[in-house]
């Protein structure tokens, strides 16, 4: 898994490329989000357009990040999750927790 960050206005976009699995990406996401929160960047958009699969550990880490960001007064939103990930959110009843968007401009506007 590879990822990069970019800042647009007051939102940090975390572009992720690859699967988010136990031991493959979950730790990197945690460390990156924790570092961003410490820097005061607590509005984060996870770009999942290039993420083909998320296992339970990956979902658990996304939930942990969401909780940490909300505690810091910010928000975590999802960009371009695939149909399988949306179904996973629905099955786990997390579709009422996470906001997700299909296009970046709409997602960025949602933070204001």
Contact 94, 32 (CB under 8 A): no
- pLDDT value for 18: 92
CATH class of 2-109: alpha beta
- pLDDT value for 28: 87
> pLDDT at residue 23 above 90?
no
Residue 25 — very low, low, confident or very high, per pLDDT cuts 50/70/90? Answer: confident
- Identify each DSSP E strand in 9-105 by its residue range: 11-17, 43-50, 75-79, 100-101
How many Å apart are CA 102 and CA 79, to the nearest integer?
Answer: 6
> pLDDT at residue 44 above 90?
yes
- pLDDT value for 22: 80
> pLDDT at residue 27 above 90?
no
How many Å apart are CA 38 and CA 59, to the nearest integer?
Answer: 22
- The answer to pTM > 0.75 is yes
- pLDDT value for 42: 95
By DSSP bridging, strand 43-50 and strand 11-17 are: parallel
Per-residue pLDDT tens digits for 48-62: 999 999 988 899 999
């Amino acid at each position: 898994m590879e990822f990069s960050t970019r800042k647009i206005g007051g939102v940090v976009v975390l572009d992720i490329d690859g699967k988010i699995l136990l031991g493959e990406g979950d730790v990197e996401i945690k460390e990156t989000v924790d570092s961003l929160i410490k820097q005061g960047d607590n509005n984060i958009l996870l770009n999942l357009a290039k993420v083909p699969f998320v296992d339970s550990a990956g979902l658990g880490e996304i939930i942990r990040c969401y909780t940490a960001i909300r505690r810091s007064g910010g928000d975590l939103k999802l960009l371009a999750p695939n149909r399988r990930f949306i179904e996973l959110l629905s099955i786990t009843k997390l579709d009422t927790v996470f906001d997700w968007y299909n296009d970046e401009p709409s997602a960025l506007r949602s933070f204001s």
